[in-house]
Amino acid sequence: MRFYLFDRVIDFVSGCEASGIKNVSSQEEFLIDHYDRHPVMPNPLIIESLAQLGGWLITVSSDYKYLAVMVMIKGVAVQGEAVPGDQIRLYTRIENINEYGATLTCKASVQETPILQVKNITYVLYEIPQEDREDLKKKYTALSGS
């Protein structure tokens, strides 16, 4: 990933689930000069936040053997919004995984109120060359605060 749309991993159970946070700031590049009267984080970017955290979960769970690339989303339900000053709590759960791909369910909430759910995010898994795994591990470990 060139940029991350989640700030930190909060909880992690290898091969099962992860949760993280995304702090929404009025200085987010996607909000500047875009929504003058009612700035909200666009729903596609909340989905991307969930997808990135899900990819992180898959990669770390595989001990950095696989890189997860999102290929499909199904069953999006928007229930609210996130505005500057909000902290979005992101939840991802692996439903199915094998050496070719994975499917996850995901949800986002603000102050324990659901704002977005995704019934299915599908990923294709690409094997990471052995010589690249340690560099990726350093980047991903920084996100978990470990």
Written as tens digits, the pLDDT of the chain (146 aa) is: 567 899 999 999 999 999 999 999 988 888 777 666 788 999 999 999 999 999 999 999 999 999 999 999 999 999 999 999 999 999 999 999 998 999 999 999 999 999 999 999 999 999 999 999 999 999 888 888 66
Task: State the total domains in the chain.
Answer: 1
Which CATH number characterizes residue 39's domain? 3.10.129.10
In a domain, 37, yes or no: yes
Q: Which residues pair with 19 in a beta bridge?
A: 11, 91
C-alpha span between 3 and 89 (Å, rounded): 18
Residues designated catalytic: 34
In a domain, 71, yes or no: yes
Spatial strand order of the sheet with 17-23 comes to 8-13, 17-23, 87-97, 101-110, 113-127, 66-78
Structure tokens at 65: 């053997």
In a domain, 122, yes or no: yes
Expressed as residue numbers, the domain containing 14 is 8-137
